[in-house]
Structure 1
Amino acid sequence: MAARKASEPLSKAIVEEVWKWGGMKPTGVTLRCMMDFGSIPTEKSLLLSAQFLHKELAIRIARRAIELENLPYGLSQKPAVLKVRDWYLDSFRDVRSFPKIKDKNDEFAFTQMIKIIRVRHKNVVPTMALGIQQLKKDLNPEKEPEEIHQFLDRFYMSRIGIRMLIGQHVALHDPHPQPGCVGQIHCQMSPMQVALNASEDARTICMREYGSAPDVKIFGDPNFSFPYVPSHLHLMVFELVKNSLRAVQERFMDSDKHVPDVRIIVADGIEDVTIKISDEGGGIARSGLRKIFTYLYSTAKNPLDEQSYPGGETDLVTMAGFGYGIPISRLYARYFGGDLQIISMEGYGTDAYLHLSRLGDSQEALP
């Protein structure tokens, strides 16, 4: 389907269709349900999955399209937000114009179509960030309106869910799945190993930015594993370690003192797996602590503007300044029933507690 220009008015029919589907209630699924359903992908199970997504994606995409059309403070009219809205409307029409899925040929064609949707939406996060920057110029820089914050929480949480459902369905078609994996879910994921990989990635970026990087030490049971989505955990740990490395590096850059390690502790409880990331990077003032979960705030220089538009897919690309890493990491944690808490001692350092539900029976947190 040809993409529609932002300046083109919406047809009455598409508006009515979007409102009809946006009024329906989405159906949340659990991690365990995804694992059980996809453990042995058969023609029948893939058909059922596609039929579920055919309806579910229309509902979820329509709900976001409606919200994008009705944002306060003139945000809906910002050029970047209009672009995102059009992506959602194009995807809604693609899903709704797809015929009923009756056999494996239909299912295969549907899978190819939702792959296109996933690619279309890959730059939603930086594009929305650009829209927020366009809005920020009109607002009091010290205050993020609560309605904007709540909208972004809902919007990004919904995006996590849509990408998880599409990604899981697509991954079930992989002819050579990774051992121990059901789609994107690793049934015996080692949080120690994921934390190690994420830390190495964060250190690489720190080395690139500053020429050196503090060491990261990881403590915990290397044999412990639990079912989770490794890409989600990698993203969260990467972001938190990246922030810690930056804080320590900047505090000790011109110092003769020994540069302290960033420490990661992985604890396996009965209900939760908790990962604590501790640094001695000087901490965050109490007045700044409440701002770190907002989307208009960053302690670093902002890398996003119309001239330096990020081209690749990544929720968290640069070392700092996006202002999105912490709030989006908390959404990823909450998506399957976990949470993220930040506790700081100004003048010393910061502890981030990442709680993940170990049982896999938490339903998606749907907006």
Structure 2
Amino acid sequence: MYRYAPSSLPRLTRRCNNTFVATLQQGPAAITANFVIRRQAHSIHSWQPSFALEEHVARDARPISLRQLTFYGRNLTLDRLLDSANYVRTELPTRLAHRIRDMQRLPYVVVTNPNVSKVYEKYYNSFELLRKTPEITTSEGNDEFCQLIRRMLTENLSVIPDLAIGALECRDFVPAAELDSFLRTMLKSRISRRTIAEQHVALTDTYNSPFFFPHVPQNGVSRDHTNGADFVGEVFLKCNAREVVEKCGKLCQYLSRQANGPDSPVPEIIIDGHPEATFPYIPSHLEYIIGELLRNSIQATIERHGGDGNSNLPPINVLICQTAQYVIFRISDQGGGIPQDIFPHIWSFSKGPRRQKQLQNISLVPTMSATLQELFHTGAKEGTIENGKVRGTSLAPLSHRPPNLRLGLGLPLSRVYAEYWAGSLKLHSLASYGVDTILQINKLGNNLERLVERRNLDGI
């Protein structure tokens, strides 16, 4: 059975050894009495949470699609809000339990790494709080539950950098392929938990807003509507391909000028194809991917062509295509391609020739939100007003880091985001010329989130 957080294991072992030696010196009777007392206390206290963990590990996660996420928000009523709350209340501890078990299966030397241990303790504390939350039956109970979720979302912002640093520090103890598989699963699960949690919090904010008027069915018929809003919680029903590329492109160009000087040249971003394609999506997921890809292209183009003072940099071309089921973004640059020593490792979290530099850079970004969105970010300089509330920019502090602060996480994390909603991300590097990156996303919103089940990690 599993119970103790990794960081407490060495301390626990020393304490048990010292007690055992002291008991031996007291004779056989003391040994028997001590054993009985400790076994009784252990069975009452220490093992109880472990049984709860086993119970939740035995359950399967219930994947959800974008359409299902919007279901609770359409014709939003108190009953639907409470249904959403209880889905989140039961689903979060189940998904956490699977990830806790995955960490328990890691080699001991990895589990006791301070950064991995910190993540374990955060997850176990969150699991304990969530599994003890009673059924939510009132609006007041839902408000208290949302306060708990908000606190957890804030407390766990350091998980991604902790996992990244832990993986880089432990890559000599676990095969790289297994460590990458573990990290991808951890990150997909983290995205999924934050997605359903933030969606419920956003629906609660909508319901509590003075600008929201619950729909009352007429003649027993409930029309499918969203009170005229383009957002249903965190899902944007009319996500526009051109607007996403332009928003991310302007931010990346601005950051480049901040880093290199206000008059420094930046490549133009040319959009072509079907730029007016619209689809339901969570903007922060798409903006993170597009932002990272444009950031890489802009930085590579400047480094290859801007060193001689050339102000006419070759443009970055973004071709947008749409089919009946997909929207496809192809981002092409002339930044010289990816160096041969790096290309084999571009999708890996834990391997590559620049590990030490990655460790230094990641330590400068102590917190990362899984959706890169601060739900209650009051200091945002840009945003939209919805139902009288300022919705902060979905490009959060991680996206605002300097272009030359390379973390080694952008491409692998972008692929995790793309695959989460059954999309894909591929990259083709042309040596001494440039890179073509192809992002494909589902425009129908009917694909279930892709979660890696526990059986796929039994070998780790």
Q: Report the TM-score, using the length of structure 1 for normalisation.
A: 0.90
Deviations 1:295-347 (A, max 9, x none): 02467773534994423434645434211111111111111111101111111
Is 1:121 aligned to residue 206 of structure 2?
A: no
CA drift at 1:87: 0.7
- Structure 2 partner of 1:199: 249
Please give the secondary structure, in 2, of the residue aligned with 1:39: coil
Unaligned runs of 5+ residues in structure 1 are none
Is 1:352 aligned to residue 352 of structure 2?
A: no
Instruction: Pick the structure with greater CA Rg.
Output: 2
CA drift at 1:15: 2.2
Alignment of 1:89-238 (within 5 A): 89-136=124-171, 138=172, 145-174=176-205, 175=209, 179-211=229-261, 212=264, 213-238=266-291
Distance change >3 Å, CA 276–CA 299, structure 1 → 2: farther
Whether the 8 Å contact between 2:421 and 2:442 is mirrored in structure 1 is yes
Aligned equivalents of 1:62 and 1:248: distance in 2?
44
Paired-residue identity, % = 29
Aligned equivalents of 2:353 and 2:254: distance in 1?
21
Q: Which amino acid aligns with 1:267?
A: C
Distance change >3 Å, CA 105–CA 307, structure 1 → 2: closer
Please give the secondary structure, in 2, of the residue aligned with 1:266: strand
Aligned equivalents of 2:110 and 2:247: distance in 1?
38
- Structure 2 partner of 1:253: 306
Match of 1:265 among 319, 322, 326: 319
Distance change >3 Å, CA 314–CA 199, structure 1 → 2: farther
Is 1:20 aligned to residue 55 of structure 2?
A: yes
Aligned equivalents of 1:156 and 1:227: distance in 2?
22
Aligned equivalents of 1:259 and 1:306: distance in 2?
28
Aligned equivalents of 2:313 and 2:232: distance in 1?
41
Whether the 8 Å contact between 2:188 and 2:417 is mirrored in structure 1 is yes
Unaligned runs of 5+ residues in structure 2 are 13-44, 213-227, 371-397, 453-460
Distance change >3 Å, CA 308–CA 124, structure 1 → 2: closer
Match of 1:311 among 366, 383, 387: 366
Aligned equivalents of 1:312 and 1:83: distance in 2?
13
Distance change >3 Å, CA 11–CA 309, structure 1 → 2: farther
Deviations 1:264-297 (A, max 9, x none): 1211211110011111001125664331110024
Aligned equivalents of 1:341 and 1:90: distance in 2?
37
The total of aligned residue pairs comes to 360
Cα RMSD after superposing both structures: 2.5
Q: Which amino acid aligns with 2:298?
A: L
- Structure 1 partner of 2:34: none
Whether the 8 Å contact between 1:133 and 1:305 is mirrored in structure 2 is no
- Structure 1 partner of 2:224: none
Aligned equivalents of 1:336 and 1:274: distance in 2?
14
- Structure 1 partner of 2:65: 30
Bigger Cα displacement from structure 2, 209-218 vs 320-329 = 209-218
Whether the 8 Å contact between 1:172 and 1:182 is mirrored in structure 2 is yes
Aligned equivalents of 1:66 and 1:40: distance in 2?
38
Whether the 8 Å contact between 1:191 and 1:225 is mirrored in structure 2 is yes
Q: Which amino acid aligns with 2:444?
A: L
Q: Report the TM-score, using the length of structure 2 for normalisation.
A: 0.73
Whether the 8 Å contact between 2:6 and 2:111 is mirrored in structure 1 is no
Aligned equivalents of 1:5 and 1:287: distance in 2?
35
